[in-house]
């Protein structure tokens, strides 16, 4: 634990203690998928006894990590208060219930930031603690805890990932010159920040147009991450070249609408998985793809595509949030961010709300959510 030292006074209130737990949860930003990012601190009289965060899938959850840290340090946690950023689980999954571990440890009080949206838990964890005589509280820094796991909540409650669409553009909304040149519209700081958003996603999605034009890798670079997100290419007619860089190292998911046994065999030999999801118009069924990705445990989907696929995803209601990097320059008559049909009236516009606006280097980063 390098945030604080055991015995350090870290909390004068439940809010302050939960803020510390959220800081621990952030340590799992790139590693816990498909599980939520959870942090836990154990306190006595406002002083830190132990802390932990959820480990990669199949390993210990935050509460157990904190209890083990206390045990290794020879610290007795009986009668202590526990602050955890998500309701302790009450079911057997890959690991035993955390609620049972807290009961066995003899803690006196458990404060959760937010109830677990998983229907296998959904209040049962807190109920189990209460039945064992442990005092509980829920709803401390709830909004921040939900933001930490916005994709997990989306998957549990809607059956689909939280979809974040990223684009880098000039101040007049252009992403590239007419010949496709776009390196670089935004500065180095914005590009590095974009890789941090890639890293937190479970998967990165693009379209065949972007693959043909840019031959991207779609990997996280410059960020210390223990895993690379799943790469997904929407390619209705299986036009992708087996030598495309997005296929390097294998494991790329190609989503198509038209079967082609010969092309599929070549792509599978290159380590790809082929998923056929046609809609009635001979294109990929994008809403069905979102449901399939949710079924596969994808919490956050990061989209980096061209104007055509961007427009299709928006029209189909598949996008939750725009992540826009806007450079202080004008490109004039050039390629735009979204290919959307003309509107008859302003009432037909796609409305969003600004969630956050921040300057990153010389550029602006805008997070805007569809209403």
* Known catalytic residue at 63: yes
Rounded-to-integer distance, Cα 337 and Cα 333, Å: 13
Q: Are 323 and 166 in contact (CB under 8 A)?
A: yes
Which ranges constitute the DSSP H helices of the chain? 14-25, 62-72, 98-105, 124-131, 142-148, 150-158, 188-200, 208-214, 261-269, 286-295, 307-315
Three-state secondary structure call for residue 64: helix
**Integer Cα distance of 273 and 232 in angstroms:** 10
Identify the three-state secondary structure at position 224.
Answer: coil
| Residue 245, token pair as written in the block | 């860089």
Nearest to 368 by CA among 323, 309, 312, 307: 323
Distances 315 to 283, 291, 339, 340, 341 between C-alpha atoms, Å? 14, 16, 10, 8, 9
Mind giving me the DSSP string for 336-357?
ES---PPPSSGGGS--EEEEEE
Q: Which helix (H) or strand (E) holds 103?
A: helix 98-105
Query: What is the C-alpha separation between 92 and 109, in angstroms, rounded?
Result: 22
Please state, in angstroms and rounded to a whole number, the distance separating the CA atoms of residues 274 and 279: 16
- Choosing from 45, 63, 65, 300, which is the catalytic residue? 63
Q: What is the set of active-site residues? A: 63
């Amino acid at each position: 634990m390098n945030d604080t030292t055991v015995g350090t006074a870290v909390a004068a209130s439940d809010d302050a203690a939960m803020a510390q737990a959220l800081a621990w949860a952030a340590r799992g930003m790139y590693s816990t998928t498909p599980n939520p990012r959870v942090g836990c601190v154990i306190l006595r009289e406002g002083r830190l006894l132990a802390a932990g965060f959820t480990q990669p899938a199949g390993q210990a959850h935050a509460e157990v990590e904190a209890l083990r840290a206390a045990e290794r340090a020879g610290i007795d946690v009986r009668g202590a208060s526990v602050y955890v950023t998500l309701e302790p689980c009450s079911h057997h999954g890959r690991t035993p219930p955390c609620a049972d571990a807290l009961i066995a440890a003899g803690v006196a009080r458990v404060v959760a930031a937010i109830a677990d949206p998983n229907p296998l838990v959904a209040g049962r964890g807190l109920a189990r603690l209460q039945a064992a005589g442990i005092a509980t509280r829920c709803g401390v820094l709830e909004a921040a805890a939900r933001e930490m796991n916005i994709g997990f909540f989306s998957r549990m409650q809607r059956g689909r990932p939280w979809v974040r669409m990223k684009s880098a553009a000039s101040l007049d909304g252009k992403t590239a010159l007419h010949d496709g040149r776009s390196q670089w519209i935004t500065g180095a700081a914005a590009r590095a920040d974009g890789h941090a958003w890639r890293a937190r996603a479970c998967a990165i999605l693009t379209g065949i147009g972007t693959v043909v034009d840019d031959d991207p890798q779609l990997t996280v670079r410059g960020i210390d991450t223990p895993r690379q997100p799943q790469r997904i290419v929407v390619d209705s007619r299986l036009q992708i070249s087996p030598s495309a860089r997005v296929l390097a190292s294998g494991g790329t998911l190609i989503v198509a609408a038209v079967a082609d046994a010969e092309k599929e065999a070549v792509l599978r030999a290159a380590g790809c998985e082929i998923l056929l999801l046609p809609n009635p118009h001979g294109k990929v069924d994008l809403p069905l793809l979102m449901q399939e990705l949710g079924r596969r445990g994808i919490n956050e989907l990061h989209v980096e595509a061209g104007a055509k696929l961007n427009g299709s995803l928006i029209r189909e209601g598949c996008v939750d949030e725009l992540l826009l990097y806007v450079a202080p320059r004008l490109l004039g008559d050039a390629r735009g961010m979204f290919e959307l049909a003309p509107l008859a009236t302003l009432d037909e516009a796609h409305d969003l709300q600004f969630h956050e606006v921040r300057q990153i280097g010389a550029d602006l980063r805008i997070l805007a959510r569809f209403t």
